Structure 1
């Protein structure tokens, strides 16, 4: 993938996202909203249907159609969202496997159609960097999508993007996990000291699916690591963690920390519809609702947005 192809996106570099100059975004101005999506995962739908998720990812026409529908729906929104964040598993093919390059190329082609006034925020998922990530796989992600963890400010709100796979298995890159841990501690200390209006985390794998005390699962962070992260987040005043990975909607609240699990743009593993989450940030609250792509495309959500903002 050439630099010319990737530079159409505002990619995070140096652990910051230059789409939002910090000096202009540190102060709270007024309520705003953003769109969260997860798991377009080009190639999974056929693989899941055939029951062979390791090999049969050679077709992704339906994922292309759904992601195009998502982009078209976002582009029609008025007022425009501040940004569109994709919470991981951008493509299905793991690093170094067949179909990965073509899946990535096709996803980028679809994403190029988003309104240029709506920055894209990319979060790494396990399929983007591997279940057991290596330095080489993470470097490939950097070249393709930008930094795997970074921060940015929007309207007085601090956003932290994390590489959650480092909390699952960093055995092949322990130094990279250590670097993220050190960076995160600095960011959380800053959030606590500055007393920002809100602080929000994006990551691919949820801390938990329904209950903070639930047992370990493929779809959550293991209990010891989960508790350590939650303690840090709650102490720093993090209000919400938004994730994907589960391909179903889920989540819960623990000590005022809202764990939000959003279903997929692509393949559904439960009863939810292909969709996106709309997140309204007011001075006092973070309010979110999941919408089907069809509702976003055909009905609009302007009245809902106004209602959520008025909840302040």
Structure 2
């Protein structure tokens, strides 16, 4: 969308303007943020018609749901510190004839977000392709910002990862290696910083229910999963937030919370369209999935509000 550089801040040079260590490394008390996933404009009709390999030629439902999510988040008190969209922003794969219009309409829906609530964009498999290439990664960076980066909020270090480079890096092994070098440096630094918490955001979950589950389309392969979990735990990562599954799932093992949030858009299970409200206290990360209707009509749950008082 022409001119959207003026609408959205974007991660550049592996960081996010206004959310840097110099500006946000100090703990100032409890706060909340919103984690959402899979607006995936175009999937709902494609799923109903059984043609999910297509780009989807209709996405008005997803636009309406995204607008509802934005309005609900804007109305929250206290205001969330940021909104993280954990991948599959649109359904049309790179090269699809529907891609440009889907991205344009998503940006139009998101531009109504309160400018005091930064948008954090995470790349998903539909944003990059199931086997990403240098060209598709560059397209994402041009449209939405860096595909992996770090930022700080209120004394909390956040790492955004490109999980497709873990899932299938065969189309751009050099980019996967670059993320690996960067991630190793970030995790070493995380273990040495005074960060109150360390959080990770990515599209594909490490696992859906248990770390020893079989490899699946909706999780990372065991060889990647086991290594990442070990490294995350050693670095003190408290939680990993993801989407991709279009259902709520997850678990906690070894002190690492794996949070799988259902979609703003198409539901593949029985969960409502929604987002996750995350409250960060000095000692804990407390999170709860809210339907868009619930958040719009009643705001966040009262017990979460009390944690922020």
User: Equivalent residue for 1:143?
Assistant: 142
User: CA separation in 2, counterparts of 1:7 and 1:178?
Assistant: 32
1:265-294 superposed Cα distances (whole Å, 9 cap, x missing partner): 000000000000000000000000000000
1:51-83 superposed Cα distances (whole Å, 9 cap, x missing partner): 010126000010011000000000111110000
User: Equivalent residue for 1:73?
Assistant: 72
Moved over 4 A (4+): none
Change in 2 beyond 3 A, CA 1:96/1:286: same
User: CA separation in 2, counterparts of 1:55 and 1:185?
Assistant: 37
User: Equivalent residue for 2:229?
Assistant: 230
User: Equivalent residue for 2:273?
Assistant: 274
User: Equivalent residue for 1:182?
Assistant: 181
User: CA separation in 2, counterparts of 1:290 and 1:64?
Assistant: 20
Tell me how far 1:305 sits from its aligned partner: 2.6
1:150-229 to structure 2, matched below 5 A, reads 150-229=149-228
User: CA separation in 2, counterparts of 1:68 and 1:6?
Assistant: 20
The answer on whether the counterparts of 2:55 and 2:93 sit within 8 Å (CA) in structure 1 is no
Gaps of 5+ in 2: none
User: CA separation in 1, counterparts of 2:195 and 2:7?
Assistant: 31
SS of residue in 2 equivalent to 1:95: coil
The answer on whether the counterparts of 2:30 and 2:307 sit within 8 Å (CA) in structure 1 is no
1:12-55 superposed Cα distances (whole Å, 9 cap, x missing partner): 00000113142121111101010010000000000000001012
| TM-score under structure 1 length normalisation | 0.97
How many aligned positions are there? 309
User: CA separation in 1, counterparts of 2:301 and 2:254?
Assistant: 31
Tell me how far 1:307 sits from its aligned partner: 3.1
User: Equivalent residue for 1:246?
Assistant: 245
| TM-score under structure 2 length normalisation | 0.98
User: CA separation in 1, counterparts of 2:174 and 2:162?
Assistant: 14
Please give the root-mean-square deviation of Cα atoms over the aligned residues, in Å: 1.1
Gaps of 5+ in 1: none
The answer on whether the counterparts of 2:262 and 2:273 sit within 8 Å (CA) in structure 1 is yes
Tell me how far 1:304 sits from its aligned partner: 3.4
User: CA separation in 2, counterparts of 1:309 and 1:113?
Assistant: 25
User: Equivalent residue for 1:41?
Assistant: 40
User: CA separation in 2, counterparts of 1:241 and 1:174?
Assistant: 24
SS of residue in 2 equivalent to 1:187: helix
User: Equivalent residue for 1:306?
Assistant: 305
